[in-house]
Structure 1
Amino acid sequence: MDIQRKIDDNKGRFFIEKDGRQIAELDFKIEDNILDAYHTGVRPELEGQGIAGRLFNEMVDYAREKGYKVNPSCPYILAKFRKSPDEYRDLWSS
């Protein structure tokens, strides 16, 4: 399951499709060099398989590559940042 990316007009999504159906997504918007990660979702039957974590890692890599700070407004993203604040200090927009 490959992670795909779609960005239009400063709004974007990392997502995974399986059998032509979207099974997971991480939605964000970018404004003033801040990536606001506001939603992460995985189909209920696929939860607990690390799919959200893969999307999170893709978002982190992308933000670092582009030099963005991250506003973790999604509860899942915020929890990941709070769990390892030193690891994401360079990204975390306060």
Structure 2
Amino acid sequence: MENIQLQLNEAGRGAFVVEENGERLAEMAIGMMGGNMVIYHTEVSDKLAGKGVAKQLLTNAVSYARDHHIKIIALCPYVHAQFTKNPDQYADVWNKNYRS
């Protein structure tokens, strides 16, 4: 399991990241907006391809949202696809009312 950390600046922008030896190998870019976490983008290095890292990033983001009682706006195509395929699993955190 990769070590995933949340890095946020004072403005509420940042990412869930996987870094190794100073190199960012994966990230899920987010921003906080009111009672929502906007997920913009997910990217995983070829070095970690096929290891389920994107899913691990999503699991961490969803856990954070649940722990902080916030909703997720899924602008990232990967996250939106996962929410659409598994709506019951994410119903409590998915802000479906947001339209991009």
TM range (shorter): over 0.9
Change (3 A) 1:2 1:45: closer
**TM superposition score normalised by structure 1:** 0.94
* Long gaps (5+) in structure 1: none
Rounded to whole Å, the distance in 2 between the matches of 1:48 and 1:75 is 18
Rounded to whole Å, the distance in 1 between the matches of 2:33 and 2:82 is 22
Rounded to whole Å, the distance in 2 between the matches of 1:30 and 1:23 is 23
Rounded to whole Å, the distance in 2 between the matches of 1:15 and 1:33 is 22
User: What RMSD in Å do the two structures reach over aligned CA positions?
Assistant: 1.0
Rounded to whole Å, the distance in 2 between the matches of 1:51 and 1:87 is 18
SS in 2 for 1:87: helix
Runs of 4 or more above 3 Å deviation = none
Show the 5 A alignment for 1:9-20.
Answer: 9-20=11-22
Q: State the AA in 1 paired with 2:8.
A: I
Aligned-residue offset at 1:46 = 2.1
Equivalent pairs, count: 94
Rounded to whole Å, the distance in 2 between the matches of 1:86 and 1:31 is 24
Rounded to whole Å, the distance in 1 between the matches of 2:91 and 2:6 is 24
* Long gaps (5+) in structure 2: none
Aligned to 2:7: 6
Q: State the AA in 1 paired with 2:62.
A: V
Aligned to 1:59: 61
Rounded to whole Å, the distance in 1 between the matches of 2:14 and 2:65 is 12
Rounded to whole Å, the distance in 1 between the matches of 2:32 and 2:5 is 18
Task: Report the identity percentage.
Answer: 35
